[in-house]
């Protein structure tokens, strides 16, 4: 009872406030965004009765993190998303302070089952005074969810795991068994992913851990998920407390993967090193599923803990990345491509070929907030030191976001230092040594940029908050340069 009341109250608030928030200049056009208030991790990504459903960590009453609800959207095609009513609200003894992250599965094409973490704070220290347990909720129609009457589903963490940091269950089926990975911290304060097995989804046994942490992979692994492609298994997770390195890992927390061979019988996962899935500013808690076409589709929160979020003053916060396809590359790492179906959003194609660029080119006054841009640059015989794009440029050209190639360091650079408001900084990613031609595919929405480098070799994502008239799009270089081609669409 209590719980339904929370849900109704939250929905009334959302319905009342959404018209106000709609008008904000930073509202995203084609990215999943909460109608109002705060959003973080994607949860329960699943295909159910002909449509994709995605849930998300949601605090309906304010644009800041608070007791977590599950917001809910669905889509026929992974491109167009509709908001549905809130799916879960906290309020039971075991989830009083939040329905934390989790996943979903479908049983017999009929029941949609959600797995989530019930969070309870037991004192003032939000890092120490808490108890987390795994819970379940069930729906027959994909709209209304009932918490399982025997919750919690998994109450006690195993002996070598903290009960305080025991969250984010991700469930999948292999053979006749169900498996679940749970984010955890062991008694030596190292992050780990616990693996459970069940025959019936209600009785679960812990059968070990997946993924080795030699001490370099942080003190807590959040939001683990596991998918298989060909002979390889990929464990995706978001470790907290990983040290910054030469190669990257610049954000407050990281999100990436381990790839290798996993043996279900021995629970042995032989894998390589940890690699980030995105080298930009804002990327966390990615969740992957195998879609109807057998592809690995992953959606992440395009945000970062502790980052400044100007839209909190406008009643909302948070957006997802576009859906991305993960594929294994020849070198055994992963490439990450934009969902091809996003092409259906394209309109108004314009193109330029063999451009001779003299420091700056305004491309006949090209401007826009929501665009896809493809740029090809020959980098083997490049004359300039730096060459790339300026996006969301203000009329006086002082405000801009830069995406460019630096010949000396062989890096693609995402520079958001020249923005009027919001967090600043630079992120870089190195291009492979044998690369002759650089291919950039950029997705811009009202307050985000996602850059795909060399057909998925690397990706960099970040939120940006430009002024309302900062819409110019320019090419730039620091010497006369030849740009092979530029294709632009409005989205
Ligand atoms: C990751 C996370 C999860 C947790 C959720 C709470 O961003 O910290 O581990 O379940 O957010 O909102």
Report pLDDT for 1. 42
Whose alpha carbon is nearest atom 6 of ligand 1? Answer: 100
Neighbouring residues of 270: CB distance < 8 A, sequence distance ≥ 6 = 260, 261, 262
Atom of ligand 1 nearest to the CA of 253: 7
Q: Measured between alpha carbons, how far is 405 from 476 in angstroms, rounded to an integer?
A: 11
Ligand 1: residue whose CA is nearest its atom 9? 222
Q: Is 285 near ligand 1, meaning CB less than 6 Å away?
A: yes
CB 371 within 8 A of CB 488: yes
Active-site residue 415, yes or no?
no
Cα of 53 vs centre of ligand 1, distance in Å, is: 19
Catalytic residue among 41, 97, 282, 439: 41
CA of 35 relative to ligand 1 center, distance in Å: 20
Distance 110 CA to ligand 1 centre (A): 28
Is the shortest distance between the CB of 99 and ligand 1 below 6 Å? no
Six-digit token string for 166? 């025991």
Q: Best substitution site from 34, 41, 165 to test ligand 1's pocket, by max atoms within 8 Å of Cβ?
A: 41
Report the separation in Å between the CA atom of 101 and the middle of ligand 1, taken as the mean of its atom positions: 6
What is the CA(406)–ligand 1 centre distance, in A? 36
pTM of the model: 0.97
Phi, psi of 24 (to 5 degrees): -65, 140
Report whether residue 223 contacts ligand 1, using a CB cutoff of 6 Å.
yes
Interatomic CA distance for residues 324 and 317, integer angstroms: 22
CB 394 less than 6 A from any atom of ligand 1: no
Question: What is the spatial distance between Cα 369 and Cα 343, in angstroms, rounded to a whole number?
Answer: 17
Question: Which residue has 């996602």 as its token pair?
Answer: 450
**Ligand 1 midpoint to CA 290 (Å):** 22
Ligand 1 pocket member 167 (CB < 6 A): yes
Q: Quote the pLDDT of residue 316.
A: 97
Q: Is the CB of 39 under 6 A from ligand 1?
A: no
Q: How far apart are CA 306 and CA 460, in angstroms?
A: 19
Residue 223 CA to ligand 1 center (angstroms) comes to 7
The finding on whether 491 has its CB within 6 A of some atom of ligand 1 is no
CB 61 within 8 A of CB 67: no
Question: Ligand 1 pocket, 101 CB below 6 A?
Answer: yes
Report the nearest atom of ligand 1 relative to the CA of 301. Answer: 7
CA 107 to ligand 1 centroid distance, Å: 26
Distance 41 CA to ligand 1 centre (A): 7
Q: Which ligand 1 atom is the nearest neighbour of the CA of 57?
A: 12
Dihedral (Cα; 35, 2, 121, 183), 10-degree rounding:
-60
The encoded tokens of residue 470 equal: 């900062």
CA dist., res. 148 & res. 112, Å (int): 12
E strand segments, 64-176: 69-75, 82-83, 99-107, 111-121, 130-139, 146-147, 161-174
Q: What is the pLDDT of residue 3?
A: 61
* Most ligand 1 atoms within 8 A of CB, residue of 168, 181, 284, 286 to mutate: 168
Report the nearest atom of ligand 1 relative to the CA of 65: 12
Contact 271, 333 (CB under 8 A): no
Query: Cα separation of 473 and 365, whole Å?
Result: 8
Question: Distance between CA 374 and CA 382 in Å, rounded?
Answer: 18
Q: Is 300 in the pocket of ligand 1 (CB under 6 A)?
A: no
Edge-first strand order for the sheet with 82-83 is 82-83, 69-75, 51-59, 37-48, 316-317
**In angstroms, what CA-CA distances link 1 with 7, 8, 85, 94, 367?**
10, 11, 17, 15, 52
Question: 100 in ligand 1 pocket by Cβ < 6 Å?
Answer: yes
Closest CA to 282 of 301, 266, 309, 260: 301
Residue nearest to atom 8 of ligand 1 (CA): 222
SS3 content of the chain, % helix, strand, coil (to 5): 5, 50, 40
Q: Is 41 in the pocket of ligand 1 (CB under 6 A)?
A: yes
Residue 157 CB burial class (10 angstroms; 0-12, 13-18, ≥19): buried
Q: Cα–Cα distance between 220 and 234 in angstroms, integer?
A: 18
Ligand 1 lined by 103 (C-beta under 6 Å): no
Q: pLDDT 10s per residue in the chain (491 long)?
A: 456 678 999 999 999 999 989 999 999 999 999 999 999 999 999 999 999 999 999 999 999 999 999 999 999 999 999 999 999 999 999 999 999 999 999 999 899 999 999 999 999 998 899 999 999 999 999 999 999 999 999 999 999 999 999 999 999 999 999 999 999 999 999 999 999 999 999 999 999 999 999 999 999 999 999 999 999 999 999 999 988 776 667 777 889 999 999 999 999 999 999 999 999 999 999 999 999 999 999 999 999 998 999 999 999 999 999 999 999 998 889 999 999 999 999 999 999 999 999 999 999 999 999 999 999 999 998 999 999 999 999 999 999 999 999 999 999 999 999 998 999 999 999 999 889 999 999 999 999 999 999 999 999 999 999 999 999 999 999 999 999 999 999 99
Q: How far apart are CA 274 and CA 331, in angstroms?
A: 15
Pocket test for ligand 1, best of 62, 222, 253 (most atoms within 8 A of CB): 222
- Tokens 């650079």 -> residue: 413
Pocket test for ligand 1, best of 38, 39, 40 (most atoms within 8 A of CB): 40
The one-character DSSP state at 50 is T
Strands 316-317 and 99-107: unpaired
Alpha-carbon distances of 36 from 42, 252, 321, 422, 424, rounded to whole Å: 16, 25, 18, 19, 25
Indicate if the alpha-carbon torsion angle 380, 383, 385, 386 is positive or negative.
Answer: negative
Q: How many helices and strands (H and E) does the chain possess?
A: 1, 32
Of residues 225, 299, 285, the one with CA closest to residue 252: 285
């Amino acid at each position: 009872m209590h719980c339904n009341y929370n849900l109704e109250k939250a929905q009334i608030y959302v319905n009342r406030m959404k018209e106000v928030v709609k008008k904000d200049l930073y509202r995203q056009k084609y990215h999943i965004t909460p109608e109002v208030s705060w959003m973080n991790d994607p949860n329960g990504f699943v295909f159910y009765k002909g449509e994709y459903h995605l849930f998300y960590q949601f605090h309906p009453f304010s644009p800041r993190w608070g007791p977590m609800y599950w917001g809910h959207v669905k889509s026929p095609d992974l491109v167009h998303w509709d908001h549905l009513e809130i799916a879960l609200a906290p309020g039971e003894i075991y989830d009083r302070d939040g329905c934390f992250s989790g996943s979903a599965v479908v049983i017999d094409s009929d029941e949609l089952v959600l797995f989530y973490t019930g969070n309870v704070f037991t004192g003032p220290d939000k890092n120490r005074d808490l108890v987390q347990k795994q819970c379940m909720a069930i729906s027959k129609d994909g709209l209304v969810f009932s918490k399982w009457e025997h919750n919690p589903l998994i109450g006690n963490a195993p002996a070598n795991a903290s009960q305080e940091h025991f969250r984010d269950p991700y469930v999948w089926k292999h053979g006749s068994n169900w498996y679940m990975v749970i984010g955890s911290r062991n008694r030596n304060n190292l992050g780990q992913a616990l693996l459970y097995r069940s025959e019936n989804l209600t009785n679960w046994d812990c059968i070990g851990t997946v993924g080795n942490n030699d001490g370099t992979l942080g003190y807590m692994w959040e939001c683990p998920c596991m998918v298989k492609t060909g002979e390889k298994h990929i464990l995706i997770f978001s470790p907290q407390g990983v040290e910054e390195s030469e190669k990257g890992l610049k954000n407050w927390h990281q999100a990436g993967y381990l790839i290798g061979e996993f043996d279900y019988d021995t629970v042995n996962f032989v894998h390589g090193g940890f690699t980030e899935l995105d080298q930009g500013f804002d990327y966390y808690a990615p969740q992957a599923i195998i879609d109807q076409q057998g592809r690995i589709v992953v959606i992440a929160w395009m945000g970062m803990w502790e980052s400044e979020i100007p839209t909190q003053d406008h009643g909302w916060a948070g957006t997802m990345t576009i859906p991305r396809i993960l594929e294994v590359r020849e070198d055994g790492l992963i490439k990450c491509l934009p969902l091809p179906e996003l092409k259906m959003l394209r309109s108004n194609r314009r193109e330029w070929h063999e451009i001779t660029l003299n420091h700056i080119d305004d491309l006949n006054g090209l401007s826009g907030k929501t665009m896809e841009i493809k740029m090809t640059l020959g980098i083997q015989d490049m004359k300039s030191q730096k060459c790339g794009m300026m996006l969301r440029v203000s009329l006086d050209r002082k405000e801009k976001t830069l995406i460019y190639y630096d010949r000396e360091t062989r890096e693609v650079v995402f520079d958001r230092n020249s923005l009027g408001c919001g967090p600043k900084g630079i992120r870089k990613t190195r291009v492979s040594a044998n690369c002759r031609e650089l291919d950039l595919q950029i997705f811009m929405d009202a307050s985000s940029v996602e850059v795909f480098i060399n057909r998925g070799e690397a990706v960099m994502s970040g939120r940006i908050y430009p002024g309302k008239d900062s819409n110019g799009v320019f090419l730039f270089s620091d010497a006369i340069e030849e740009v092979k081609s530029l294709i632009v669409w409005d989205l």
